[in-house]
Structure 1
Amino acid sequence: MTKVLMVCLGNICRSPLAHGILESKLDSDFFYVDSAGTAAYHIGESPDPRSIEVAKQNGIDISGQSARQFKVEDFDTFDRIYAMDQSNYNNIIRLARNNADIGKVKLILEETNSVSNKNVPDPYYGDFSNFEHVFRLLDDACEVVSKTL
């Protein structure tokens, strides 16, 4: 089974969307998808209501997800780890124990050529249109990821 982890800062906006989107594109008999945050701000909380709503509008239910913090053991559990932006990528790499750990980590938007800025913008302080934009970015990237796993 191939295991993929999506990581953002608080695990309530971007990574839950990426988690749900990729999960919806893969066969759960062969793939496991999860998400985490590099910070401990929202441990145990549900995704942001705007993330839940934009996912729902696109036929994906992420309401059952619960935020958790990224941990070193995730390097052992997951085959691929996708960071939503450079800051979170750097935070993950700081926890890496070796080159094998580092080799598992990428920016998710590196998977697509549709945008030049490889950082998924954090929609938290924006309005619903920001969440819709992030959904589209992640949907495009997850489509590519689903075909390369």
Structure 2
Amino acid sequence: MKKIILLIIVTILIILYSCDSNTYQDIEQDPAATTQDNSGSTGSTSGSSSGRTSGSTSGSTTTSNVTYTTDVKPIITNNCVSCHFSGGESPALTTYTQVKNATSGGSLLCSIQAQGCKVMPRSGKMSQINIDLILLWKTQGYIQ
């Protein structure tokens, strides 16, 4: 009986230890801080045409405020607008207001994070870097 209880406790501890979660503090840190292309130079990430990154001697990049126009719109355009346009699948995601409303309502984040919702885009979960940029945009107050 003692062995069973000990086994259950160890199993619970392993499960709790292995869980990964992103806190707002994690998200506020630069999600592209360690990205590099194959040439070793730093740059913006896939889906983000930011260009507002600056390299440091350690090879990391620093992103200022995430904006809809520069950072989020290219991600949405590349991954969502082919289906979620005006007159297409609901919700439409072609304007700042539509994307902001879908994000603040939780439906967009639930779908792209694949957290109990239908996984979007249909081709499969988008990169974590893109998801983190959208989360950071939300955290920073939906800067246009």
Could you state the TM-score of these two structures normalised by the residue count of structure 1? Answer: 0.28
Structure with the bigger RCO (C-alpha within 8 Å, sep 6+) is 1
Which protein is bigger by CA-based radius of gyration?
2
Could you state the TM-score of these two structures normalised by the residue count of structure 2? Answer: 0.28
Task: Please identify which structure carries the higher strand content.
Answer: 1
